Structure 1
Amino acid sequence: MKLIDNWKESYKLLTVKLGAILSAFFTLLILFSEQLVYLWNLIPQQLKDMIPDNAAAWVGGIIAIAMTLARLKKQPELHEQPLGFVTVTAGHSNMDPGAVNGGMKESDFVVTIRNALAYYLHEAGVQVKTDGIGTQNDPLSSAVKLIKGSSVSLEVHMNAAANKSAVGIETISLPKDKLLAQKISKAVQKVTGSKLRGDNGWIDQSKSARGKLAFVENGGLILEVGFISNDAEANLIQSKAWLIAKEISKVLIEHDKKAL
């Protein structure tokens, strides 16, 4: 192999410098992909909307790569430890917004809370499975598959009613998870102050208006954080989503420790 002339000074070449910069950039992105995703999720949407159009594409691309890397880094963990996982999923999907109230969509609310829950659980050292990272929200068929092997599985929803004054929190589960369901509902109440529906925050699936629910039938719990149809309650939940997630995470962490 013949080297180029003045190869000892190759570090001065633009292509070499660019290669080194890109290599360093992707190395840092791989190492800190999860942290970058979590920081991105912390930024209010109003601030994200202020990013100039000419920079939005670059920022979006970097975040998309970070999300992919974070998900790939987590996958081996899902197979190394069959028990002791907490599964947290967001109701509906990217194709189904769920209940809507003006510009507010259920799918946006629940993704925010799911991401915050995943953050707090991860920070506490709990292994977490989710149905997406960032704005990704996989359909129910994918979420149900994550339940197997989890110490607890929670799907987050928002309720809705024709009566715009309807308020309250409920967690739907099988009877065996009644106590846990009540604790989850009370964790939300601690932040929002809203009333507990059903039996002290618990709704037996057999008494649910929706009948049998696939997520519950497979051992999970479904949390209805509040009513998106009630403007005041929806705005309160939106402003306190991370505080709500923090309180719920405490309940899930305690339950996960007992399950191990």
Structure 2
Amino acid sequence: MKLINESVWKFDSVKYGAYMALFLSCIHLVLQEVYNANVLPEPYQTIVSLGLMFLAVLIGRKKAQPNLQQPLGFATITAGHSNTDPGAVNGKVKEADLVVNFRNAVTHYLREAGLQVKTDGTGTKNDPLSAAVKLIQGSSVAVEFHMNAAASKQANGVETIALPKDKKLAQDLSKAVADALGSRLRGDNGWIDQSKSARGRLAYVNAGGLIVELGFISNEDELARFNARYWLAAKAAAKILIDYENCN
């Protein structure tokens, strides 16, 4: 038997049944102890009580509960590059491998919160950009993870490339990741307008997605902090997306 991972008390069918049981218990005590009245023979008392409780459960089950019936959010979470394109490399460390781990961690926390998630692969699978972009359609939010690289080993920081309409979400994601990793924010408090990005127009962003640069793989200190704390950063990023879904 598998139990649901939530409190059953929020369901009206449970609450109504419990209220009716309490009500019938009070009535029984009043009749028996105060008035010493035997309105119905004992077998019929039990039958009536069970019938009323069953009716209460049915009413609670049929009653609309908008807060429970709202459609869950549909997020697209993808990893940059692919199994055939490693992205930036630092020795034997590949960008594609790091962001797949981050994608999987964020997906874990989103699904744990009840969101529906589309991804560009499970486990170590990482589909190419052409497949990732197709997943965005129909999603309420879409985020892809990358890592930066630079000739300077000192380059550092977190940024999110997005269209102006997603500026606030981009800043919130960048701050959550940067705080968890102990990094700084780049751009406009973590937001990079696509028009000002060195990469120019990006297919993922054009399709409505956001690209989060989790740090610089070329910076040894930042890379070490990412490897040590990426689960914390993923949880922080997931919380931003969950809050975003709850407000939209």
TM-score between both structures, scaled by the size of structure 2: 0.71
Residue 108 (structure 1) aligns with: 97
CA shift for structure 1 position 108: 0.8
What amino acid is aligned across from residue 106 of structure 1 in structure 2?
E
Residue 156 (structure 2) aligns with: 167
Separation in 2 of the partners of 1:193 and 1:224?
14
The match for 1:203 among 192, 198, 202 is: 192
| 1:50-106 superposed Cα distances (whole Å, 9 cap, x missing partner) | xxxxxxxxxxxxxxxxxxxxxxxxxxxxxxx99820110000000000000011110
SS of the residue 1:150 aligns to: coil
What amino acid is aligned across from residue 172 of structure 2 in structure 1?
K
Matched, 1:251 2:240: yes
Matched, 1:180 2:208: no
The runs of at least 4 aligned residues of structure 1 exceeding 4 Å deviation read: none
Q: Where does structure 1 lack aligned partners over 5 or more consecutive residues?
A: 1-30, 32-80
Q: CA RMSD in A?
A: 1.5
The match for 2:181 among 177, 192, 196 is: 192
CA shift for structure 1 position 256: 1.3
TM-score between both structures, scaled by the size of structure 1: 0.68
After superposition, residues 27-176 of structure 1 pair within 5 angstroms as 84-176=73-165
SS of the residue 1:237 aligns to: helix
CA contact (8 A) 2:148 2:215 kept: yes
Separation in 2 of the partners of 1:219 and 1:101?
30
CA contact (8 A) 1:147 1:218 kept: yes
Separation in 1 of the partners of 2:135 and 2:244?
18
SS of the residue 2:156 aligns to: coil
Separation in 1 of the partners of 2:94 and 2:218?
10
SS of the residue 2:144 aligns to: strand
What amino acid is aligned across from residue 176 of structure 1 in structure 2?
K
Residue 205 (structure 2) aligns with: 216
CA contact (8 A) 1:84 1:149 kept: no
Separation in 2 of the partners of 1:136 and 1:166?
29
Matched, 1:235 2:224: yes
CA contact (8 A) 1:160 1:228 kept: yes
Q: Report the number of matched residues.
A: 180
SS of the residue 1:95 aligns to: coil
SS of the residue 2:140 aligns to: strand
CA contact (8 A) 2:158 2:185 kept: yes
CA contact (8 A) 1:83 1:149 kept: no
Q: Where does structure 2 lack aligned partners over 5 or more consecutive residues?
A: 3-69
Larger radius of gyration: 2
| 1:206-231 superposed Cα distances (whole Å, 9 cap, x missing partner) | 00000000000000000000000001
What amino acid is aligned across from residue 216 of structure 2 in structure 1?
F
CA contact (8 A) 1:89 1:143 kept: yes
Separation in 1 of the partners of 2:165 and 2:208?
10
Separation in 2 of the partners of 1:152 and 1:113?
17
What amino acid is aligned across from residue 168 of structure 1 in structure 2?
G
CA shift for structure 1 position 198: 0.3
CA contact (8 A) 1:99 1:160 kept: yes
